[in-house]
Structure 1
């Protein structure tokens, strides 16, 4: 599940960065901007049927935290 999530994350932000892992602090990525944030929120809705509000999303820092949020809210 983790590898699939990393792949979906990279596709959503249009990244080919092979260094992205579950411990990556996604806001520190060169590709990260407000459009990337919206793309991730949309991907969570499409792929996982998870709606996350902006305030909750701002508190998440790593890919692992996003995946934990998915697991806790399915």
Structure 2
């Protein structure tokens, strides 16, 4: 899994895809981050990366890079 691809997949889960997203983005600070987006990310991780992640685990991450590292280390 490449970080760049993950960032693009992550961005696709957001309602407003015009928001710039990078590895350092604190996704919880995004205006459109909510529980629905959390569920979309859970589904994306399961479908695209064949990995299970919970809302609690996502909540323990702050940046997109934190989330990426959590997934690749699972």
CA RMSD of aligned residues (A): 1.3
CA positional deviation for 1:33: 1.0
Moved segments of 4+, more than 4 Å: none
Higher helix share: 1
**Within 1, Cα distance between the matches of 2:62 and 2:42?**
14
**Within 1, Cα distance between the matches of 2:34 and 2:55?**
14
**Within 2, Cα distance between the matches of 1:69 and 1:6?**
14
**Within 1, Cα distance between the matches of 2:52 and 2:29?**
23
Q: Output the TM-score relative to the length of structure 1.
A: 0.87
Please tell me whether residue 12 in structure 1 is matched to residue 7 in structure 2. no
CA positional deviation for 1:16: 2.1
CA positional deviation for 1:14: 3.2
**Within 1, Cα distance between the matches of 2:3 and 2:52?**
19
Unaligned runs of 5+ in 2: none
CA positional deviation for 1:52: 1.1
Unaligned runs of 5+ in 1: none
Q: Output the TM-score relative to the length of structure 2.
A: 0.87
